[in-house]
Amino acid sequence: MTRPLREVVFVDGVRTPFGKGKGQYAETRADDLVVKLIRELVRRHPELPPERIDEVAIAATTQTGDQGLTIGRTAAILAGLPESVPGYAIDRMCAGAMTAVTTTAGSIAFGAYDVAIAGGVEHMGRHPMGEGVDPNPRIVSERLVDPSALVMGNTAENVHDRYPAITKDRTDAYAVRSQDLAAQAYADGKIQPDLVPVATRSAELGFGLATTDEPMRPGTTVDDLGKLKTPFRPHGRVTAGNAAGINDGATASLLASEETAKELGLPIKMRLVTYAFAGVAPEVMAVGPIPSTDKALAKAGLTIEDIDAFEINEAFAVQVLAFLDHYGIDQNDDRVNPYGGAIAFGHPLASSGVRLMIQLARQFEEDPSIRYGLTTMCVGLGMGGTVIWENPHWNGEKKGAA
């Protein structure tokens, strides 16, 4: 029997405010961040019977401690979902939440699920990337990858080497743009509706409430960034100012088949078109979004000119600029990360993919002339991931047309 694939839609997405490593979430458990988001999605959508949720997929890069024990299942139990709701954990490093979305979306399209929760969490202050890992010595001894591939900052410096036109001045200017756009987005109320406040506790400060992204540095200037050290290479180009930091946070999204969303009266914020992941040389992992985007565009029968909105994860400014230069897009193009990106908000590894989707859904809602948008990111160990979405609010016009 042949089953037709079903349309998959992004119903809603929420996230915690992101924190600095050892910052506002220093004494908050990673799984509690996820629990807060699952509860919020259920609270926001009383039209969804919790027992209709077919899966909870939660990603974490460092699956140990409070990020371990099949966190999708444990978070579902802790959030009070019916015990009939299963869950599991995912690891694709930075693209963990993105992979949680694409994996559950595939199951929805196939008909195995009707509704799923997908997201990610990373408490980098408690669980630094690489904690407890034991890389097989063959990776280095047999030169399977360049040793620099094991340090993400070094891979960003390698991309600078590959693209000499991407200077430090350009990456610093892009970083300032990210900070400025994020500050403006906050001022305009574009970010807050999707943030779920989190109660915090500190032995030093007592109880508090996290309501904003802690890593933001509004008012940053190019001169400020020019004074920062280049920790990965003497006289290098990658600094703490033109890269995302060490961050804590979580994201969660609600996905459904379009027919189920209509049946239950759930909102439809985005419609999934296609997705792709691709591998590149691990020592230049930041170029991964280029082949994954080429692959996704080909699958969709689209070209880059069809894309009117871009949410590109800013692990490093050089990574975004390599992508934009490849496609001939100006680094100040207003289609690119119009509300700011990870350089400002932070990049809690496995959670970031859904943050991109939340912001793209905001773009779709505010501009019905946008038909297609994409979310893309580089991934540790030499990968890229891209998801193409269609705007259900599209008005039939071309963005920018007279």
Give me the active site residues, please. Answer: 94, 347, 378
Q: What gap in Å lies between CA 213 and CA 344, rounded to an integer? A: 8
Other C-beta atoms lying within 10 Å of the C-beta of residue 219: 10
Give the separation between CA 15 and CA 67, rounded to whole angstroms. Answer: 17
Give 177-243 as a DSSP string. Answer: HHHHHHHHHHHTTSSGGGB--EEEEETTTEEEEE-S-TT--TT--HHHHHTS--TTSTT-S--SSSB
**CA-CA distance, 26 to 249, in Å (whole number)?**
11
What is the amino acid identity at position 95? A
Q: Where are the alpha helices (DSSP H) in 284-389?
A: 289-300, 317-326, 342-345, 352-366
Measured between alpha carbons, how far is 327 from 275 in angstroms, rounded to an integer? 18
**Token match 């003497």: residue?**
234
Measuring CA to CA, how many Å separate 347 from each of 81, 332, 353?
28, 21, 9
- Hey, CA dihedral for 292, 148, 60, 43, is it positive or negative? negative
3-class SS of residue 282:
helix
73: left (phi over 0), alpha (psi -120 to 50) or beta: alpha
d(CA 276, CA 296): 5
Read out DSSP for 329-357?
Answer: --TT-TTB-TT--HHHH---GGGHHHHHH
